[in-house]
Structure formats: C-alpha cells, structure tokens
Amino acid sequence: MNRLGREALKHSSTKAWNMPETTYHAVFVRDALEVIRSLPDHSIQLIICDPPYNLELAEWDKFPNYLEWAKLWLNEVPRILSESGSIAIFGGLQYQEEKGGDLLELMHYLRHHSTLRLVNLIIWHYKNGMSAHRFFANRHEEIAWYANTKNYVFDLDAVRTPFDEATKAAYLRDKRLRPESVEKGKNPTNVWEIGRLNGNAVERVGHPTQKPVEVIRRLIRALSYPNSIVLDFFAGSGVTTRVCVEECRHSIIADQNSSLLTYLDAQMVQIRDSLLCPYEILHSPELNLLPHWHLSNNQSDVSSKQDAISARITAKITKTEGDISGSGGPSKTGEMAGQLSLLV
C-alpha cells in the first residue's frame, strides 16, 4: 500500500469510471424473481439485498421453507453480477427456536452451492433497541458481503472515517506515516456503529423496517462507482434509489408492495444537498429499453443485452417456483493502541 501511494498507483480493487450526465432509476411494483430473471448477464455492479428475515411479523415475512424460497433468487445472483460486482445481504439470526431459516442458513447454502466469495461479515452495531431480562439485549444485525469474483470493486478511500484530533496529531508527528494517508482517515472496519432509526427519526418515510441512509451509503460508496448500476429487489422504503441519486449511481428497484412508490416520493423530498448530476425516475419501464444498458462504463454490447433481456422477458416463470416478493426484512434485535494497521 505504501508503494502504491508513493508511485501514485491505483489498487486493483479500484475501477476507472465516467461521471454520468444523468442517472436513471427504474422502479417496478412487481415480483422480485420476475425482475431478476429478466436482467441480462453481468449487468449489475452491486445488489443491496434486505430480504424478509422470516420472523413471522407479517404475511410477507412467513415462509413454510425459507431456504427453498431464497434459493430462487440466490441462484440468479452470480449470473447478473458483473465480474467486479458484489451483493450485500442484510440478515439476522434466529434465537431459541427453529423457524426454518435465517442468515446463517443462507450463508451455509452459499458456501456449499455457490461460486460467490464471502469477503466480509459486517456487524452493524446500534445502541438503541429493546431491553431484555432473560438474555443479553441484542444490539446488532449482520450484513454478509459476497463478491462475484476475486476482482471485486472496493473503494476504501470513499468510506474512510476521520481520526480524532489527538490521534491525528500524533500520527502526523510519526515520520513512518505519510501525512496524506493520515488525512484520508482510517478503515471503518467490519463493525459499523450507526444508529438504528427510531420511530421519530427524520429519515422515516413510513416503512416499518427502513434501513438508515448512512448504512446504505457506505455500501454503495465502497462496492460500486459513479455511473454503475445498483439493484435492490426487496426495495422496501426506496432508500437505495435515494442514495444512488445522491451518489451518481443508476438504480433498478422492485417490490411487490405498491407503497414503494409513496415511500420513494418521500425519500426524494428529503434530498437537501445539491446533486452532482440530474436524475430521472422511470416507473415500470420496458426492461429491454432501459437507458442503463447504454452507459459508457458498460463493457458489454448494448444490442446483445437488449436481445438477451427480450428473450428472458418472454420466458415463462412457472408458478411452481413460487412468489418471492416481499419488503425489506425487519430490524432485530485509548484509540492510539494498535491503530497503525488501520491506515491501510
């Protein structure tokens, strides 16, 4: 890493990109599997996946066989991800009783039946939550980050966190360290302390299991790049598209619940900062005519992608495979020492 800095070289996990003139955001009120199977091969850079957690809190959160349901979309992921692409799967663990499926079961399946590569298990830690008397109160959820190949994108500089002033001053006095590296900040590690949204949070748009903007923003900044395409097929509150608009990414989102449209409108109203590029929301467009397939970063032939999408759209999805629709899963329940390693 020091050699890369000295010689002004880019790490292999970074990717060249062009700033888009406009970002495009396709919104579908449609079954997730129908959308996924209509997408062309290797067309998506990042999938934000916040599936139902199988907690039986609502009808969309009940599954007679959670793993069999999840296999339908998990098996499509390697096909639609680009070579440098990733998927971030939100999830939690079932405690005290077996309900037939949780994130551990999905990870076990992927380890033995998928080519996806586990890069990190991210612990999203929050201080607010319900109390408990019979066990340690839960204050975290997990995000499993899988890459499609070893050539995945990871933009660390885009998500570094600043040192406190005392630590920063001490590091700047250390002749072994490059000042520009210190100024960049540190690796945020795989434990993220970001508050969960409470009932009165300004970000709230009405969805019961809405994820914070800053959690989604960190994933999008680190695992995608401007002008790339982000997919969210359990779109829930629409937060993924909001962040993509702010971060100059294109998005494709889907949810069977038509409330997605209302939530997304509320998300867009909350954007207060000036945008680097204009955007366009496309409601239920023809998949084979999406402007996403004409992007300058896209290395695949546009016409072949359109043909592939058309073929997939005409292919019938059998009813025996079931409906995999649903909204995002419910929420569950001396800095100096040893920090030199956090500078890389």
Q: What are 202-243's pLDDT values in tens digits?
A: 999 999 889 999 999 999 999 999 999 999 999 999 999 999
d(CA 54, CA 328): 11
Residue 273: Cβ-neighbour burial (10 angstroms; 0-12, 13-18, 19+): exposed
Tell me how far apart the alpha carbons of residues 26 and 287 are, in angstroms, rounded to a whole number: 9
Residue with token string 């997408």: 39
Q: What is the pLDDT of residue 54?
A: 78
Which H or E run contains 173?
helix 165-173
Higher-scoring residue by pLDDT: 324, 85: 85
pLDDT of residue 331: 38
More confident residue, 13 or 215: 215
Closest to 211 measured CA to CA, from 26, 51, 85, 25: 51
pLDDT for 130: 86
Beta strands in the chain (DSSP E): 23-28, 44-49, 81-91, 117-125, 140-147, 191-193, 229-232, 250-254, 279-283
Q: Which segment of 36-45, 58-67, 80-89, 165-174 scores lowest on mean pLDDT?
A: 58-67
Task: Tell me how far apart the alpha carbons of residues 101 and 110 are, in angstroms, rounded to a whole number.
Answer: 13
Q: What is the pLDDT of residue 53?
A: 80
Domain boundaries, the chain: 11-335
What is the per-residue pLDDT for 299? 45
DSSP 161: B
**Euclidean distance between CA atoms 141 and 9, whole angstroms:** 36
% of the chain exceeding 90 in pLDDT: 67
User: What's the chain's average pLDDT?
Assistant: 85
pLDDT at 259 > cutoff 80: yes
- What is the chain's Cα-based Rg? 21
Domain 11-335 has CATH 2.40.110.10: no
- pLDDT of residue 301 exceeding 90, the answer is no
Torsion sign across C-alpha atoms 266, 272, 274, 275: negative
Q: What is the pLDDT of residues 268-284, one digit of tens each?
A: 999 977 899 999 999 99
Of the pLDDT bands very low, low, confident and very high (cuts 50, 70, 90), residue 296 is: low
Half-sphere exposure of 138 (CA within 13 A, CB side): 13
Per-residue model confidence (pLDDT) at position 305: 53
Strand partners, 281: 25
Handedness of CA 300, 303, 307, 313 (dihedral sign): positive
pLDDT at 65: 87
